[in-house]
Structure 1
């Protein structure tokens, strides 16, 4: 197939490269002149043969909304837009309706695989009509590890980004569990080879996973993790997952706790922990560790 790709960063650039490796023609645009094939989105649209397919891999929020608006003015009836960023699933209905007024089709696609996707393939989770999914299936087949594997048509518009949101929420919980296990073993004084223990879990155990493989790799590069700060951002999907759990009255304590742990990581001197220390001192006479103001 021929495909226009808007957004050629760490994900979009590798996806475009994998598609080209599989024999597809990709015309790419990015705000970075060093990465793009054309100088504008208008030129990208001109280079594509109708009916066109354009895949978006730009940041969620205003960048995506602005790009959708621009494409609505440039594309023709029967063209297809695939929104592959990490947008909120409720935004997909808005985007789809805006494009539908011009006769332009829409799919939302959650994409997982990170920087390793070019080599290993991506997980693709899609929302939209069966007709549009079938139309773009050669692209999905090229991006996934093997034709048919790692792909799901999850449901109607918004379903692709909803399941990607839940996927990332689960990822938060798994990462937090590995992090806590690592810290507990390191603090025990009993376990003398924490990296080796984690590496041994990669074979035969019920916790073996790609995340565990990546943790072992990180420890091989920096056994004490001395080059890192204990600081973790959240990209939005974790918050949206927790909010969706509240909206649907579904208990999600693990994902919620993992999200809050990321918030705590950004506090060099946690106000909440100060309150706990003060209260322990007030009711129990526990020693208070005060800051060194010298």
Structure 2
């Protein structure tokens, strides 16, 4: 197939390269010249403007967007003057599923097609393949099937048409919420092991052990084992954890559905807690404990009594 890849960052460039290796003709665009130059070295034909991208593709065109969620609307607006009825836009980023439904409706009014594809695989996708969760009309999924089969780990697995428009990004949103919980569970377990260092001195050994035959084995554990092997004390890593926003969306959807998701909720709150450098709440707890029980307060910067 032939397609235009818009967004040549870490994910977009790697996906474009995998598609090119799979025999597809891939033209790419990114507003950053450095990204275009890097993509060109990976077998991707890079152009310097969206009009040049659309002009170089045969109709009906297929455009795959790998841009931040906040940039999707602006990118589509910039594309519209250069598209024609029958062209297809695929959003493979981390958009909110309701935004995808809205965009599909707006594009349909212009005779344009839309597919939302939740994409998982990160920086390992080029080598291992991506997990692709596609939402859209059946004929659109059939049309892009060769792309999905090439990007996936194998033609018959790692991709699926999961439902109508919006379903792809909804499934990916829940996927990321689950990911938060899994990561938090591993982090807490290894923190407990590390606290008993005299008893269990080698965390990398334990992580490697659990990778084989254990019920908690997973790709996340594989990555954890590699991280601990390379840096057992995690030196130089700040305890500051970002979030992409999809965990928040997952939690909001659960609340709207009156569904209890405590693990996902607490894992998100722990990420927020990791970013506090001078937590007021804990100071207030210490002050209250001193007020009702006369317990000593540890001074800031000191090593006072507990």
Establish whether TM, by shorter chain, passes 0.5.
yes
- Residue 109 (structure 2) aligns with: 101
Measure the CA separation in 2 of the matches of 1:152 and 1:234. 26
What secondary structure sits across from 2:81 in the alignment? helix
Q: After TM superposition, give the deviation of residue 64 of structure 1 in Å.
A: 0.6
- Residue 223 (structure 1) aligns with: 232
Cα RMSD, aligned residues only: 1.1
TM-score (norm 2): 0.93
Measure the CA separation in 1 of the matches of 2:279 and 2:195. 21
Measure the CA separation in 2 of the matches of 1:284 and 1:116. 54
Q: After TM superposition, give the deviation of residue 280 of structure 1 in Å.
A: 2.4
Deviations 1:174-233 (A, max 9, x none): 000111111111112422222211111000000000001111111122110011000000
- Residue 21 (structure 2) aligns with: 21
Q: After TM superposition, give the deviation of residue 148 of structure 1 in Å.
A: 2.1
Measure the CA separation in 1 of the matches of 2:292 and 2:186. 34
Question: Is 1:110 aligned to 2:122, yes or no?
Answer: no
Q: Which consecutive aligned stretches of 4+ in structure 1 deviate over 6 angstroms post-superposition?
A: none
Whether the aligned pair in 2 keeps the contact of 1:72 and 1:104 (CA below 8 Å) is no
Measure the CA separation in 2 of the matches of 1:97 and 1:282. 59
2:52 to 35, 40, 43: 43
Deviations 1:92-135 (A, max 9, x none): 11111121111010000000000000000000001110110000
- Residue 127 (structure 2) aligns with: 119
Measure the CA separation in 2 of the matches of 1:96 and 1:270. 43
Measure the CA separation in 1 of the matches of 2:264 and 2:8. 30
What secondary structure sits across from 2:35 in the alignment? coil
Moved more, 231-240 or 284-293: 284-293
Measure the CA separation in 2 of the matches of 1:48 and 1:109. 21
- Residue 273 (structure 1) aligns with: 282
- Residue 42 (structure 2) aligns with: none
Measure the CA separation in 2 of the matches of 1:187 and 1:34. 45
Contiguous gaps of at least 5 residues in structure 2: 37-45
Question: Is 1:2 aligned to 2:2, yes or no?
Answer: yes
TM-score (norm 1): 0.97
Measure the CA separation in 2 of the matches of 1:249 and 1:148. 36
Measure the CA separation in 2 of the matches of 1:287 and 1:129. 65
Measure the CA separation in 2 of the matches of 1:214 and 1:280. 41
- Residue 129 (structure 1) aligns with: 137
What secondary structure sits across from 1:162 in the alignment? helix
1:1-294 to structure 2, matched below 5 A, reads 1-36=1-36, 37-61=46-70, 63-189=71-197, 190-292=199-301
Q: After TM superposition, give the deviation of residue 283 of structure 1 in Å.
A: 2.8
Contiguous gaps of at least 5 residues in structure 1: none
